[in-house]
Structure 1
Amino acid sequence: MSFENAIGYMETAIFVIMAIASVLAVAVVVERAIIFVKNTKDSSFVLPEIIQTARKGDLSGAPKFSENYPENVYARFADFSSEHSKGGKESLGELMEGKMIGERVGFETRLSILNTLGNNAPFIGLLGTVFGVISAFYKLGTLGNAAGEVVMRTISQALLATAVGLAVAIPVVMANNYFTRKLKIIQSNLEILSKEFLASLSRKG
């Protein structure tokens, strides 16, 4: 295999990798979007109702939310907190903290893929550009002055690899930032619920 052919195969491999990365990114974004939507559906009125129930001191009424909204993260958390509230405030606090960590891990699943793709896609594209520039200079050295048009065309194709890398990375980073912000909101709301349940137990005590 000649040097020029080897470089050409490497360039092709870079574009294949970018194509696979883009398909993987779309799949992860769609899957995570479905998970976030399912777990936060109806939260605009479920969350205030749970808080109101906790402030009334009626922790026994919390399980009704998970029955009506079994996929809602706040309803699940309320059910869990109600179920373990008999163990006392200190025990419940530790259990709720563990539950919040478990929910966070569930939401963060596969987000590391987006983070990795967003951080590395531009470098993969840049690697393709480097291969293209190497090929351009090789042709320049081989063909001499007659290689001007070929070299310019090769360089333009090489720069396309960087453009593709950025085209993959930018939307992936935006999607990852969106999911990260949503997760922070969910985590903050769970912490609010945790404090409400603990305060309810304190009033009872």
Structure 2
Amino acid sequence: MNFAASNFSFISLFFKADLVVKLVIIILIAASIYSWAIIIEKYKLFKRINGSSNFFEDQFWSSKSADSLYKKLEDYNEDPMANVFKAGMEFMIKNKSRASSVQERIQQALSGAIDKEMEIVEKKLTFLATVGSTTPFIGLFGTVWGIMNSFQSIAISKNTSLAIVAPGIAEALFATALGLLAAIPAVVAYNKFTSDSRKYSTRLENFSQSFISII
């Protein structure tokens, strides 16, 4: 029984697998590991920017003026909302002499700043979508290849016993499981972070409208 258990362990299945199945397994494991790295990174990112934006909004509404808040801000700021505010203030400072059209133009400047910040926030989300949509099919390819190996083993040995076909079937199921293991967390995380991204983008747009109304 111990021999059978070790014979069908994940490590044993990998080393006994066909080269094509090995490549499929490596691709799926690499995709899963990188997906989890992105998931952890994005979780920390949204937690950080929501907290920092709360702090900045408190500063914004409690400041005596936009100029005084702008002077307090550092040149580099990791908070997207603060960066949008800075972009608006810098545009105003450069265009004081052209006040007649400043409202429409500052709105364009703020929209451009929001797009720039959201591009950073949404970076790598496409990879999660790609993993979620492609890894089940990569796993399925490994499954088909493993089953083909099983039929070839039957044809060569002319033996239909389970001992002959079991290794190929096990490889096939292993590839299928890895495909789902990579895809499911990626799809769930992509949907969650896309929703979080939309909410945060709306928050930045609402802030920009408040900023325009004040100035």
TM-score calculated relative to the size of structure 2:
0.77
Task: Give the gaps of 5 or more residues in structure 2.
Answer: 1-16, 96-101
CA contact (8 A) 1:43 1:74 kept: yes
Residue number among 134, 144, 148 corresponding to 1:120 in the alignment = 134
Residue aligning to 1:4: none
Deviates more, 1:8-17 or 1:171-180: 171-180
What residue number does 2:43 align with? 33
- 4+ long deviations beyond 4 Å: none
**Cα distance, 1:101 vs structure 2:** 0.8
In the alignment, structure 1 residue 104 sits paired with structure 2 residue 115? no
1:190: which partner in 2? 204
Q: What is residue 3 of structure 1 aligned with on the other side?
A: none
Which of 3, 16, 30 is 1:20 aligned to?
30
Amino acid at match of 1:41: G
Cα distance change, pair 146–91 in 1 and its aligned pair in 2 (3 A): closer
Instruction: After TM superposition, give the deviation of residue 122 of structure 1 in Å.
Output: 0.8
Is 1:178 the counterpart of 2:192? The answer is: yes
After superposing the two structures, state which structure 1 stretch, 182-191 or 21-30, moved more: 21-30
**More moved, 13-22 vs 187-196:** 13-22
CA RMSD of aligned residues (A): 2.6
Q: Distance in 2 between matches of 1:75 and 1:186?
A: 13
1:78 and 2:78 are equivalent in the alignment: no
SS in 1 for 2:158: helix
Q: Percent identity between the aligned chains?
A: 29
**Secondary structure of 2:73 counterpart:** helix
Alignment partner of 2:78: what SS? coil
Structure 1 equivalent of residue 53 of structure 2: 43
1: CA distance, partners of 2:72 / 2:54: 13
Q: 1:140-177 CA distances to partner (integer Å, 9 max, x unpaired)?
A: 22222443332144213311211110011111122222
Paired residues in the alignment total 192
Aligned-pair CA distance for 1:189? 0.7
More off after superposition, 115-124 vs 36-45: 36-45
Match of 2:214 in 1: 200
- Per the TM alignment, residue 184 of structure 1 is displaced from its structure 2 partner at its CA by 0.9
Distance 1:169 1:66 in 2: 42
How far apart, CA to CA, are the structure 2 residues paired with 1:34 and 1:104?
Answer: 16
Aligned-partner Cα distance in 2 for 1:65–1:181? 32
Instruction: Give 2:23's aligned amino acid.
Output: A
Output the CA distance in 1 between the equivalents of 2:73 and 2:129: 32
